[in-house]
């Protein structure tokens, strides 16, 4: 069974501890990058990442875009939803089916 991790700022992800997920709150880009790569090496199946950290780590996340695992899923942080998560879903759907079936744009 695969493990699930949450990566982001402490205030946004602390509640995930209550449901038994592994939470990681790095201080800065370098630490976040190292944690992301460690989570992949430890075969986490799902990595939830706050949109703020997703933006910071987009280059590293793109390295795993064509991999079956892990599923790296953006979530809003305490600062609110930036829309980047939905954009990521839209891109994934377009890549999978060949067109924009979510928003209807070609």
Q: What is the rounded distance in angstroms from the CA atom of residue 14 to the CA atom of residue 16?
A: 5
73 occurs within a structural domain: yes
92 occurs within a structural domain: no
Look at the chain and report how many structural domains it folds into. 1
Query: Which position has the higher pLDDT, 106 or 17?
Result: 17
27 occurs within a structural domain: yes
Q: Tell me, what CATH number does 64's domain have?
A: 3.40.50.10580
pTM equals 0.78
87 occurs within a structural domain: no
The residue range of the domain holding 34 is 3-77
Whole-number percent of the chain with pLDDT over 90: 58
Q: What is the pLDDT of residues 25-75, one digit of tens each?
A: 999 999 999 999 999 999 999 999 999 999 999 999 999 888 889 999 898
């Amino acid at each position: 069974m695969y493990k699930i991790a949450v990566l982001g700022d402490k205030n946004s992800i602390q509640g995930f501890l209550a449901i038994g997920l592994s939470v990681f709150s790095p201080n800065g880009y370098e630490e976040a990058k190292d944690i992301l790569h460690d989570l992949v090496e430890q075969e986490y199946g799902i990595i939830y990442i706050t949109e703020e950290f997703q933006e910071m780590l987009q280059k590293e996340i793109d390295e795993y875009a064509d991999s079956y695992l892990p599923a790296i899923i953006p979530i809003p942080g305490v600062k609110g939803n930036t829309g980047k998560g939905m954009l990521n879903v839209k891109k994934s759907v377009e890549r999978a089916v060949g067109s924009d079936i979510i928003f209807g744009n070609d």
